[in-house]
A and B are shown apart, each in its own frame.
Chain A
């Protein structure tokens, strides 16, 4: 089994959740994180309507970190591509800051309620 770690925009969490639910992966863990990517923090990345008179003149500095959501989803090996493709499709906005997806191997999983281990503990 594999752990898919996706770091995405906070407002894209519920569309992602709905899309994953449709293809049969309702389980996930979401964590509020802050972070930055190759471009460092970019102020314009967060889409807030801001009247021009409120903007500080000559303020070109960005943010140090940008709030994101980290989704952790554990799936079987065969489902990795499907889930990754769905996350990418839902989250693409063509603007910098859409996020990253990492796929990490996992050795074992345990369902606490029933003590199942391995493949049957996932889904």
Chain B
């Protein structure tokens, strides 16, 4: 299993979530976060914004589905400007469902 953390523009997160649900990846967690990237925030006029609001989508999928999910997120979150976000993929060793105590997704 892999954990996918995608840090996206808040306005694209909903369309990403819809696309993932249509493709069968319904389970996900959304977290409102603040951050900045290589461009160190953004300057509008004379005001510098050091940290920008983003939405982090956190989901755990089977190894074989990682590419599908990443492609879907890339497709929907793309605007071509700085600040579209990042996707991180990390390992998950075990998953449990609390209600049943069963292992696995």
Contact = CB atoms under 8 A, between A and B. Distances in A.
Interface of A: 2, 5-8, 31, 33-38, 40, 65, 68, 70, 80, 84, 87-88, 91-105
Interface residues of B, number: 22
Contacts of B1: 102
Interface string B13-55: 0000000010000111111000000000000000000000000
B101 to A, nearest CB: 5
Nearest to A31: B31
A65 B38 CA distance: 31
Given A35-B30, A36-B28, A88 B98 contact: yes
B98 A104 contact: no
Interface in B75-105: 90-99, 101
A80 to B, nearest CB: 8
A38 to B, nearest CB: 6
